[in-house]
Chains A and B, each alone.
Chain A
Amino acid sequence: MKPVLEVRDLTVTYPARRGAAPARAVDGVNLRVRQGEIVALVGESGCGKSTLARALVGLVKPTGGQVLSDGEPLGYSAAALKAYRRHTQLVLQDPGGALNPRQNVFDAVAEGPRLHGLTDRLDERVHTALAKAGLRPPEQFAGRFPHEMSGGQQQRVVIAGALALEPSVIVADEPVASLDASVRGEILKLILELRDSLGLSALVVSHDLGLAWNIADRVAVMYLGRIVETGTVEEVLLRPKHPYTRALLSVLPDSGEPPVLLTGEPPDPTSVPGGCRFHPRCPLRAAEQDPRCDGEDLPVLTGDPSASSLAACHLVQ
């Protein structure tokens, strides 16, 4: 299976703001999403996962590296981006905010097709997309406005809007974080169904490891602009190698292990530590005292999807 979406050595640096150093939001990332695969990108807020998602859909222009779609590097001219967006779509965290309050459901879903000149049998296209997103019967929803719908329904409208363009990849940034617990499972189910029925690939960005367990095939754990561990969900979540992944898993209420609470300053992309970027907070380094941890930089993980798991750590090679 060849990757439908790939990033190579991607970096995104935001220019310095008043006195602060430039923020290295994404600092060297390799990642591949193959046909029909769901990849979860997990990490805490400020780790650069949302910036990476935006770079993948061309909203943020990378300062280095490449985004490749079906093996072709992404161009940043208006025409190239528009063409790209027919096949890679974004689903945002807050469905209430992602819908224009003054547009009804039909117009919100028809927006993409209209922008791309797919107005031939637009009605059918919109209804099909609404039905695929689980809003059935579509006629009942087409005339509604966002504020007349629940959060789950709004998110389905956002997803329908993406599906109306018949994309091959969906990038979802925290698609269920603002939804209620009972609705969360329904939306995740929908993403799985779309993969099974349409062969859709997806990159799902989340802070929630349970989400990865629920729907993803592979998972990438991000810390301070880099992917620190990646592999199949079973490998990474059941047999974590990297101390950061282990700590994240240990603080989950159902982990059954004593929680490893990380101390020290929260990660700051304007001052990335040298050596291993996790070393100031790493419980393993504190125990082992290996000089490589703060002295020797780690290579960027290759993101090779055939490897069962890879970890960026001096101590667990």
Chain B
Amino acid sequence: MTAHERTTAPEGQAAPMLDVRDLRVSYRSGEQTVPAVRGVSFTLDRGQTLGIAGESGSGKSTMALSLLRLLPASAQVSGEVLFKGEDLLTAKWARLRAVRWSAASVVFQGAMSALNPVRTIGEQIREPILLHDKIGQRAARERAAELLDSVGVPSRRLESYPHEFSGGQRQRIMIAMALACRPDLIIADEPTTALDVMVQAQVLNLLGELVREAGIGVIMISHDLSVLSHMCERLAVMYAGRITEIGPSKQLIAEPRHPYTRALGRAFPTIGDPASRLAPAGLPGDPPTPSELARLSEGRGCAFAPRCSEAMDACRTDTVELWPSGPRREAACLRVLEGSGT
């Protein structure tokens, strides 16, 4: 843990804006407790972008939503989420509500279900502004129009209802809402998954620009490694509820140290790369099921070992944690510790 803090928090600086320490989430299902996030730590500063990649069931969405305590009551969360020095996991509800809109906001995956279908876009964008910024109706209206324009939706459409917009436009509106109270942190959970390639590129471009301009910290969750590597400076790959590799995006993609990162990177072929032509790359097997995960948590060993082509005997018995694997990089792989990882 100490090694980890040293590499992620730059020395001699003030505490980072967001400091997540040993975050764990488990769900109770019947008599069984099923772990979803099994000890995640990272830091994020203002203006930084962190991408979190992983497959379904890797715990990436659960992890992100738990930061603002947006999980159902059946989830048990432990660890620390220090946001500007304040632990959000123990903060009072009133305080948390204030943080949720004004300081940290979320862009959800399905824009249609996250927008209220019977209220106009304008009302929905104004609501948090009126609640938190304590400004008049008129000023709020102006700010909403400004926001809508900034995400590329004509502001004359403020009085339209969600169903009158296309999927891409709705996702833009969600971004406008997230920006409404000038937050310091945006958590974007698969913001473009349901969108077409072209629209996805537009939305990502927009998000990137707005974030750079305003110096907002972003945590972006996606299953698509190539999208993340272009949007985010740093990348964390999650598998079975843990971070398996974290570091600067470009390096992580170019020289992955963890076999899982390598496999994930190959799953998205680069057009023109002869190695992937008529040779799709996958990974045999499936991620651990919740009950397998519950068993894994009790014992030792690397959760990825059953699917890993480079697994050694030690991988099934030794405790695996994040070890430094290069400048500002860490990987949870015994091969890295050996120094023989490629």
Is residue A289 within 8 Å, beta carbon to beta carbon, of the partner chain? no
How far does the alpha carbon of A81 sit from the alpha carbon of B92 in the complex, in Å? Answer: 64
Is residue A95 within 8 Å, beta carbon to beta carbon, of the partner chain? no
With contacts A187-B282, A188-B282 taken as known, whether A207 is within 8 angstroms of B276 at the C-beta atoms is no
- The interface-forming segment of B15-23, B141-149, B178-186, B262-270 is B262-270
- The interface-forming segment of A82-90, A138-146, A253-261 is A253-261
Q: Is the CB of A181 within 8 A of B223?
A: yes
Is residue A314 within 8 Å, beta carbon to beta carbon, of the partner chain? no
Give the distance to chain B from A19, nearest Cβ to Cβ, in Å. Answer: 15
Q: Is the CB of A45 within 8 A of B282?
A: no
Name which residue of chain A comes closest to B194, CB basis: A45
Q: How many A-B residue pairs have CB under 8 A?
A: 109
Q: Which of B197, B224, B268 contacts A44 (CB 8 A)?
A: B197
Q: Which of A180, A188, A210 contacts B223 (CB 8 A)?
A: A180
Q: Which of A180, A192, A238, A248 contacts B272 (CB 8 A)?
A: A238
Q: Is the CB of B280 within 8 A of A185?
A: yes
Q: Is the CB of A189 within 8 A of B282?
A: yes
Give the distance to chain A from B8, nearest Cβ to Cβ, in Å. Answer: 25
- What string of 1s and 0s marks CB contacts (under 8 Å) between B10-36 and chain A? 000000000000000000000000000
Is residue B201 within 8 Å, beta carbon to beta carbon, of the partner chain? yes
Q: Is the CB of B226 within 8 A of A253?
A: yes
Is residue A182 within 8 Å, beta carbon to beta carbon, of the partner chain? yes
Q: Is the CB of A184 within 8 A of B282?
A: yes
Is residue A237 within 8 Å, beta carbon to beta carbon, of the partner chain? yes
What residues of B have a CB within 8 angstroms of the CB of A255 in the complex?
271
Q: Is the CB of A213 within 8 A of B282?
A: no
Q: Which of A151, A207, A213 contacts B271 (CB 8 A)?
A: A213
Q: Is the CB of B280 within 8 A of A192?
A: yes
Q: Is the CB of A215 within 8 A of B280?
A: yes
What residues of B have a CB within 8 angstroms of the CB of A247 in the complex?
198
How far does the alpha carbon of A289 sit from the alpha carbon of B226 in the complex, in Å? Answer: 36
What residues of B have a CB within 8 angstroms of the CB of A44 in the complex?
196-199
How far does the alpha carbon of A214 sit from the alpha carbon of B276 in the complex, in Å? Answer: 6
Q: Is the CB of A248 within 8 A of B271?
A: no
Is residue B202 within 8 Å, beta carbon to beta carbon, of the partner chain? yes
Name which residue of chain A comes closest to B277, CB basis: A213
Q: Which of A151, A213, A233, A251 contacts B198 (CB 8 A)?
A: A251
Q: Is the CB of B166 within 8 A of A266?
A: yes
Is residue A249 within 8 Å, beta carbon to beta carbon, of the partner chain? yes
Is residue B55 within 8 Å, beta carbon to beta carbon, of the partner chain? yes
Q: Is the CB of B271 within 8 A of A261?
A: no
Q: Is the CB of B227 within 8 A of A253?
A: yes
Is residue A28 within 8 Å, beta carbon to beta carbon, of the partner chain? no
Which A120-165 residues sit within 8 Å CB-CB of chain B? 150-153
Q: Is the CB of B267 within 8 A of A182?
A: yes
What residues of B have a CB within 8 angstroms of the CB of A188 in the complex?
280, 282
Which B160-204 residues sit within 8 Å CB-CB of chain A? 166, 168, 196-202
With contacts A192-B280, A266-B166 taken as known, whether A153 is within 8 angstroms of B286 at the C-beta atoms is yes
Is residue A209 within 8 Å, beta carbon to beta carbon, of the partner chain? yes
What residues of B have a CB within 8 angstroms of the CB of A238 in the complex?
271-272
How far does the alpha carbon of A238 sit from the alpha carbon of B270 in the complex, in Å? Answer: 11
What residues of B have a CB within 8 angstroms of the CB of A249 in the complex?
271
With contacts A238-B271, A238-B272, A253-B229 taken as known, whether A180 is within 8 angstroms of B56 at the C-beta atoms is yes
Q: Is the CB of A251 within 8 A of B282?
A: no
Q: Which of B199, B263, B276, B278 contacts A182 (CB 8 A)?
A: B263
Name which residue of chain A comes closest to B284, CB basis: A186
With contacts A150-B286, A210-B269, A214-B269 taken as known, whether A251 is within 8 angstroms of B278 at the C-beta atoms is no
How far does the alpha carbon of A188 sit from the alpha carbon of B277 in the complex, in Å? Answer: 12
Known: A45-B196, A180-B55. 9 other contacts (CB 8 A): A44-B198, A151-B56, A181-B55, A182-B282, A247-B198, A253-B230, A259-B205, A261-B202, A261-B205
Could you write out 12 A-B pairs with CB less than 8 Å apart?
Answer: A182-B55, A182-B307, A186-B284, A210-B268, A213-B271, A214-B279, A233-B277, A237-B272, A251-B198, A251-B201, A254-B271, A259-B205
**Chain A interfacial positions (CB closer than 8 Å to B):** 44-45, 150-153, 180-189, 192, 207-210, 213-215, 233, 237-238, 247-249, 251-255, 259, 261-262, 266
**Chain B interfacial positions (CB closer than 8 Å to A):** 55-56, 166, 168, 196-202, 205, 223-227, 229-230, 263-264, 266-272, 276-284, 286-287, 289, 307
